[in-house]
Amino acid sequence: MTDSVTVHQLDGVQVISINRPQARNAINRAVTAAVAAAVDELDDRPDLTLGIITGTGGNFCAGMDLKAFLAGEDVTLPGRGIAGIVQRPPRKPMIAAVEGWALAAGFEIALTCDLIVVVQDVCFGFPEVKRGLVAAAGGLLRLPRRIPPSIAMQLALTGEPLSAVDASRLGLVNELTAPGQALDGALDLARRITPNGPLAVQITKQILDQALDWTVAEGFSRQEPLVAQVLASADAREGAAAFTEKRPPAWTGR
């Protein structure tokens, strides 16, 4: 990894930290490449169940680095978009641990995640229209699926911020924490997931993601091969054996 992104593993969790506090963790090319590599590692390693993405220095991410943009730097990756994640999220669950500001692409990164943990003074926002730009890194596509579409429309057209309290009221965030505790809150949430079967967790995320585009009737047929993969796994047998033998399961992810 580069100095602009740090990565470490903790109890089955890949913690990815954007580390450009001097630029409020704005996304440049180096950040995009490093986050993409960290997400690939998360998906490839059987000992990792989920990921957390956060920022250092009291902010999550202020969006695209406009200085890099003006200098002609491409801060995206083909097929993956900005931060290497917005167009192709990981197969495994991802939690956003948000402090301070999550603006523009920073907000879009958070919306890419499956779960969001924030401190009480966080502000989200899509200020792109104020700069003659469009929130095209998935924000306009994902936000109306997470909150009422009329509220999403208002936020996107005005460029006004959304407070953590209002985000919680609208059901956008999962946990509110005290200042400075977003990462700890995300790790606590992660610890409630990592004891579960890793393959079952991954397939559950996949079904939930895709179910938004299915009718209930077609959903049963579409989820069948995914569920069959889990039922045929060694983990399914291990889970049943551990239950009957009254012991903790020893998952392999297979």
What is the signed CA dihedral for 128, 85, 205, 171, rounded to 10 degrees? Answer: -20
> What tokens does 175 get?
């946990």
Concatenate the DSSP letters of all residues of 108-131 into one string: HHHHHSSEEEEETT-EEE-GGGGG
Question: Diameter of the chain by CA atoms?
Answer: 62
**Which residues are annotated as catalytic?**
108, 128
Angle, CA of 70, 152 and 129, to the nearest 5°: 25
Selection from 152, 25, 43, 151 nearest residue 98 by Cα: 25
* Measured CA angle at 163 (ends 162, 167), to 5 deg: 80
Q: How far apart are CA 183 and CA 119, in angstroms?
A: 9
Helix H or strand E segment including 253: none
